Amino acid sequence: MTSFPADPTIWLPHRAPFLLLDAVTEVSPGVSARATWHLRGTEDFFAGHFPGHPITPGVLLLESIAQCGAVAVLDDPRYAGKLPLFGGVEKARFRKAVVPGDEVELFCEMTRLSARGGKGVGTASVDGVVCVEAELLFVVMDRP
Assign residue 61 the CATH number of its domain: 3.10.129.10
| 137 in a structural domain | yes
- Classified as helix, coil or strand, 105 is strand
How many structural domains is the chain composed of? 1
The residue range of the domain holding 60 is: 8-142
| 1 in a structural domain | no
pLDDT at position 1 is: 74
Distance CA 144, CA 20 (A): 22
pLDDT at position 28 is: 98
pLDDT at position 44 is: 95
Model confidence, pTM = 0.97
Question: Is 49 a catalytic site residue?
Answer: yes
Q: Which of 14, 38, 49, 53 is catalytic?
A: 49
pLDDT at position 62 is: 98
Task: List, run by run, the mean pLDDT of 10-residue segments along the chain (144 residues).
Answer: 94 96 98 98 96 97 98 96 95 98 98 96 98 98 90
Question: In this structure, are residues 132 and 66 in contact, taking their beta carbons and an 8 Å threshold?
Answer: no
pLDDT at position 36 is: 98
